Amino acid sequence: MKPKVEFKRVPAIDKCFSILEVISRSETGMGISETARVLEYNKSTVFNIVHTLQSLGILENNKDNRFILGPVLYVLGRKAAKNFNLAEVARPWLEKVAKETRLSAFVGTLSGERITIIDKVDSPVDIKVSSEIGMRIPLFAGATGKALLAQMPEQRVKELLRRKKLKRYTPNTCTDPDRYLEMVRQVKNQGFALDKEEYIEGIRAIAVPLNSSQAGALSALWVVGLSSQLKDENIKGCAEFLVQVGKRIDKKLSLG
């Protein structure tokens, strides 16, 4: 079950996105008064938000002095599209992995200091481990984080470890920065990362880095299952299979 995340919503950001959505629906752009009227917002609030967005290149004026979406959104959209391309390319491989390993298969990217699941295929068995697309996982939790950290320069990993105290999730969680760094080095050498009940008790995972720059953000492919489904004697074969699948995905992405 996806845990409920408690946070304090920021009204200004809600209004910002509402303004962007309204303007995006207009083929000719919108003025401040019109936008305020449609959304029933205070005109001065819309004025300040719109001009802030304009200063950032997120909105711009057209020849009729009406606001339209700006070039920064185009650039951000192109970058976001790379992640969707990753999901599209990875999808048939996720299906193959889930079918052959009988584990749930995921692909995700690094966003800030969390991992975002961008696609998944659940295990075909009745008792399975599953998470929702869009769910965000802590970077220093389990196999996937180590697979992503293994793609970073070691100095960057050291900086993150100095700044971030390693949280203990289970008795198997590594909370020693030096030992954790050694685990990341091991991932670089062997090509895959393991999680033996380090994040959730009774759950194991194997993750491999996706190294193609075409994937956009740092990305990884991983499988998750109950400890009874991913036994020690099965780990080596499953990991080697995932490494090969990861190479296929990388090759497809590099070809565009």
Q: Does the pLDDT of residue 225 top 70, yes or no?
A: yes
Lowest mean pLDDT among 107-116, 185-194, 207-216, 219-228: 207-216
The pLDDT of residue 83: 63
Tell me which residue range forms the domain holding 187. 79-254
The pLDDT of residue 87: 87
Reported as a pLDDT band with limits 50, 70 and 90, residue 82 is low
Q: Specify the higher pLDDT residue, 63 or 31.
A: 31
Can you tell me the mean pLDDT for 126-132? Answer: 90
Q: What's the rounded Cα separation, in Å, for the pair 12 and 113?
A: 24
Q: Is 118 found in the same domain as 51?
A: no
- Domain boundary (69, 89, 112) is at 69
Q: Is 91 found in the same domain as 58?
A: no
The whole model's pTM is what? 0.70
Can you tell me the mean pLDDT for 212-218? Answer: 58
Q: Is 101 found in the same domain as 21?
A: no
Lowest mean pLDDT among 53-67, 183-197, 227-241: 53-67
pLDDT, tens digit, 9 for 90 and up, residues 19-44:
999 999 898 999 999 999 999 999 99
> The CATH number of the domain where 41 resides is what?
1.10.10.10
Tell me how crowded residue 192 is: count the other CB atoms within 10 A of its CB: 25
Q: What's the rounded Cα separation, in Å, for the pair 190 and 185?
A: 9
The answer to the question of residue 153 being in a domain is yes
The answer to the question of residue 167 being in a domain is yes
Q: Is 142 found in the same domain as 62?
A: no
Q: Is 48 found in the same domain as 86?
A: no
Q: Is 45 found in the same domain as 107?
A: no
**Share above pLDDT 70 across residues of the chain, in percent, rounded to a whole number:** 94
- 78's CB contacts (< 8 A; 6+ apart) are none
The answer to the question of residue 28 being in a domain is yes
Q: Is 156 found in the same domain as 233?
A: yes
- 12's CB contacts (< 8 A; 6+ apart) are 49
Q: Is 163 found in the same domain as 39?
A: no
pLDDT, tens digit, 9 for 90 and up, residues 152-190:
999 999 999 998 899 999 999 999 999 999 999 999 999
> The CATH number of the domain where 123 resides is what?
3.30.450.40
Q: Using only C-alpha atoms, what is the Rg of the chain?
A: 22
Reported as a pLDDT band with limits 50, 70 and 90, residue 201 is very high
Q: Are 209 and 220 in contact (CB under 8 A)?
A: yes
- 184's CB contacts (< 8 A; 6+ apart) are 146, 149, 150, 154, 157
For the chain, how many structural domains are there in total? 2
Q: Does the pLDDT of residue 81 top 80, yes or no?
A: no
What is the overall mean pLDDT for the chain?
Answer: 90
The answer to the question of residue 102 being in a domain is yes
The pLDDT of residue 46: 96
Reported as a pLDDT band with limits 50, 70 and 90, residue 240 is very high
